[in-house]
Amino acid sequence: MRIGVIGAGIAGIATAIRLAAKGHEVTVFEANTYPGGKLSAFDLEGYRFDAGPSLFTMPHYVDELFRECGEDPAQHFRYARVDTVCHYFWPDGTQLNAWADKTKFAAEAEQVLGVPAEKVIRFLERSERKYDLAGKIFLEKSLHQTSTWLRRSVAKAMLYLPFFDIFSSMHQTHQRAFRRWPKMVQLFDRFATYNGSNPYKASGMLTIIPHFEHNIGVFYPESGMHSITTGLYELSLRKGVKYHFNTRVSSIETQGNRISGLKTASGENFVFDRVVSNMDVYFTYKNLLPGHPHPERILRQPKSTSALIFYWGIKEATKLGLHNIFFSNDYRHEFDQMEQGKVTTDPTVYINITSKLTPSDVPEPGHENWFVMVNAPFNNGQDWDAMIPEIRKNVIRKLSEILSVPVEKLIACEAVLEPRTIESRTASHLGALYGYSSNNTMAAFLRHPNFSRSIEGLYFVGGSVHPGGGIPLCLLSAKITSSMAG
Ligand code: FAD
């Protein structure tokens, strides 16, 4: 079959690989001049930065793509498990090293925060059990096919419904486990941001997320996150996938209720038996399918959060690690502010420094490349030009205080990514990082399916559709979609 894929984001590339491995003729159309979408990189005055994702979990989903094509992943894409998942800092001076080793992490939590180690271990074991019983089924299968619901594993999961904490929020679930240790609650609450959600609203089912990081591990790809894109892009070329870069698709063409092809902005027509859209589902309907019925209820679901990122070349070595989090004093206020489209004056700040593991990412020894991220609301027309300098000032003040270094003076060069540019660079509706949020119990069921109910031969893949955003879920989305489309 001839299959057209709109978008060379990580989910589009992974879908193209799987479909080409099945023998289909696959052509990808990408509006940008480069592959990867959000998972891209850039250089600034000798500093290399991963532009988007910085945290790599579930690497076996990448390996699986090489194996699917009969290749040994280790020959093409190498990565290692990191020793420390994250360095945490609190405004009162408390610091905690979240070791990858579960037992060491629990011991550190006991020593620094006073939480009994066995409580931490028990919580992580519960998180693993939830994932094994339910997470796997609902993330690896379509929720919109009857066959998923007829599986024995689903019936078994239903028996355990109360165990999943579905009807409590993530925060309530953490409160129940760690009521006397608010810093531990805050530490686990922050996992809601892994899919752009609010811990005070997202379902307790999302307490499966720490399992990915603390039980399975955090990994670092040799030469940075961008090598996930380059490794998979090169694999797709070896499988014969064709790419048209700098080529925006302007419409999806149909005959009756069947796909017939697509049209590019320069007016070229391409005939396809099937089309897979890796473009944000909202814009796929609004821009490429204007004359067709739109699933308005799904498209109206609340968006995930966005982010504000400062990429700083830093001309001094610091004691920071690969992943660092500087918590706010009042986490609930931070999320309340975000719900109102604002960023608090004391935001939680995340810093990723790849030069800690890849020294060639900086122009000379003793320098660092800081990816400084603050959670931000999606773009609803706020005055970002006024907000960004204010947030920058607050971030610099906070980091300078906690680290006791004059951060402003260490910045050699700077680039900024914000909700408006996230939207314009990857056509992500309102600049949301992860498509739709998971801020209600039914969110998983209100994501768009991986296929069209009204147009035969049209499929959807990526962060804005089932099972959701983030690299691992995008790769699972590609697995589900390609099993339907080819
Ligand atoms: P995208 O990467 O958005 O790709 C869609 C592609 O479609 C784009 O290349 C776009 O140009 C193209 N396109 C759109 N419209 C058209 C058109 N009309 N014609 C042709 N092409 C078109 N995830 C993690 O797992 N870990 C993290 O640490 C993490 N951190 C993040 C930090 C930031 C700052 C951002 C922005 C995201 C982060 N994410 C993280 C989320 C992750 O990047 C995304 O969920 C994932 O990369 C989305 O991939 P995708 O293939 O669905 O879409």
Please count the CA atoms within 13 angstroms of the CA of 103 that sit on its side-chain side.
0
Q: What is the pLDDT of residue 49?
A: 98
SS (H, E, C) 229-268: HHHHHHHHHHCCCEEECCCCEEEEEEECCEEEEEEECCCC
Q: Is it the case that residue 390 has pLDDT exceeding 80?
A: yes
Sheet of 411-417, strands arranged across = 95-99, 84-89, 323-326, 349-353, 368-376, 306-314, 411-417
Q: What is the pLDDT of residue 288?
A: 98
Query: Quick one: which of 46, 31, 55 has its CA closest to 321?
Result: 55
| 294 Cα–ligand 1 center, Å | 22
As a whole number of angstroms, the distance between CA 269 and CA 30 comes to: 15
Sheet of 258-264, strands arranged across = 249-255, 258-264, 269-271
Q: Is it the case that residue 477 has pLDDT exceeding 90?
A: yes
Q: How far apart are the first and last CA of the chain?
A: 8
The values of phi and psi at residue 11, to 5°, are -75, -35
For residues 213-239, give the mean pLDDT: 96
As a whole number of angstroms, the distance between CA 18 and CA 65 comes to: 7
Q: Are strands 411-417 and 269-271 parallel, antiparallel or unpaired?
A: unpaired
Q: Is it the case that residue 209 has pLDDT exceeding 80?
A: yes
Degrees (nearest 5) of the Cα angle 150, 152, 158? 90
Q: What is the pLDDT of residue 438?
A: 83
Residue for token pair 């590609």: 478
Residue for token pair 């099937």: 274
Q: What is the pLDDT of residue 152?
A: 81
For residues 44-55, give the mean pLDDT: 98
As a whole number of angstroms, the distance between CA 281 and CA 30 comes to: 15
pLDDT digits (tens, 9 = 90+) for 130-171: 998 887 777 888 888 888 877 888 778 777 777 778 889 999
Q: Is it the case that residue 92 has pLDDT exceeding 80?
A: yes
Q: Are strands 306-314 and 411-417 parallel, antiparallel or unpaired?
A: antiparallel
> Is the CB of residue 474 below 6 angstroms from any atom belonging to ligand 1?
yes
Q: Is it the case that residue 71 has pLDDT exceeding 90?
A: yes
Are the C-beta atoms of 5 and 27 separated by less than 8 Å? Answer: yes
Q: What is the pLDDT of residue 202?
A: 94
Q: Note the Cα 284 to chain centre separation in Å.
A: 20
Are the C-beta atoms of 9 and 278 separated by less than 8 Å? Answer: yes
The one-letter amino acid at 199: P
pLDDT digits (tens, 9 = 90+) for 111-121: 999 999 999 99
Q: What is the pLDDT of residue 148?
A: 81
> Is the CB of residue 308 below 6 angstroms from any atom belonging to ligand 1?
no
Query: Quick one: which of 282, 290, 211, 220 has its CA closest to 254?
Result: 290
Bridge partners of 323, per DSSP, are: 352
| 306 Cα–ligand 1 center, Å | 12
Q: What is the pLDDT of residue 27?
A: 98
Q: Which range, of 211-215, 340-344, 422-426, 457-461, averages the lowest pLDDT?
A: 211-215
| 102 Cα–ligand 1 center, Å | 31
> Is the CB of residue 32 below 6 angstroms from any atom belonging to ligand 1?
yes
Query: Quick one: which of 185, 170, 214 has its CA closest to 443?
Result: 170
Q: What is the pLDDT of residue 64?
A: 97
Sign of the Cα torsion 461, 53, 22, 2 reads positive
As a whole number of angstroms, the distance between CA 375 and CA 190 comes to: 11
Please count the CA atoms within 13 angstroms of the CA of 255 that sit on its side-chain side.
6
Q: Is it the case that residue 439 has pLDDT exceeding 90?
A: no
pTM: 0.96
> Is the CB of residue 422 below 6 angstroms from any atom belonging to ligand 1?
yes
By alpha-carbon position, which residue is closest to atom 11 of ligand 1?
Answer: 426
> Is the CB of residue 309 below 6 angstroms from any atom belonging to ligand 1?
yes
Share above pLDDT 90 across residues of the chain, in percent, rounded to a whole number: 88
Query: Quick one: which of 249, 243, 288, 244 has its CA closest to 265?
Result: 249
pLDDT digits (tens, 9 = 90+) for 402-428: 999 999 999 999 999 999 999 999 999
Binning pLDDT at 50, 70 and 90, where does residue 396 land? very high
Helix 10-21 × helix 471-485 angle, to 10°:
40
Bridge partners of 221, per DSSP, are: 79
pLDDT digits (tens, 9 = 90+) for 216-227: 999 999 989 999
| 279 Cα–ligand 1 center, Å | 9
Q: Which residue has the higher pLDDT, 380 or 137?
A: 380
Q: What is the pLDDT of residue 147?
A: 83
Q: What is the DSSP letter of 280?
A: -
Q: What is the pLDDT of residue 139?
A: 86
Share above pLDDT 70 across residues of the chain, in percent, rounded to a whole number: 100
Binning pLDDT at 50, 70 and 90, where does residue 240 land? very high
Neighbours of 464 (CB within 10 A): 32
Q: What is the pLDDT of residue 137?
A: 77
What is the secondary structure of 363-412 as a DSSP string?
SSTT-EEEEEEEEE---SS--HHHHHHHHHHHHHHHHHHHHTS-HHHHEE
Are the C-beta atoms of 466 and 2 separated by less than 8 Å? Answer: no
Q: Is it the case that residue 327 has pLDDT exceeding 90?
A: yes
What is the secondary structure of 91-104 as a DSSP string?
TTS-EEEEESSHHH
| 9 Cα–ligand 1 center, Å | 5
Ligand 1, closest atom to CA 352?
28
> Is the CB of residue 6 below 6 angstroms from any atom belonging to ligand 1?
yes
Average pLDDT, the chain: 95
> Is the CB of residue 29 below 6 angstroms from any atom belonging to ligand 1?
yes
Q: What is the pLDDT of residue 98?
A: 97
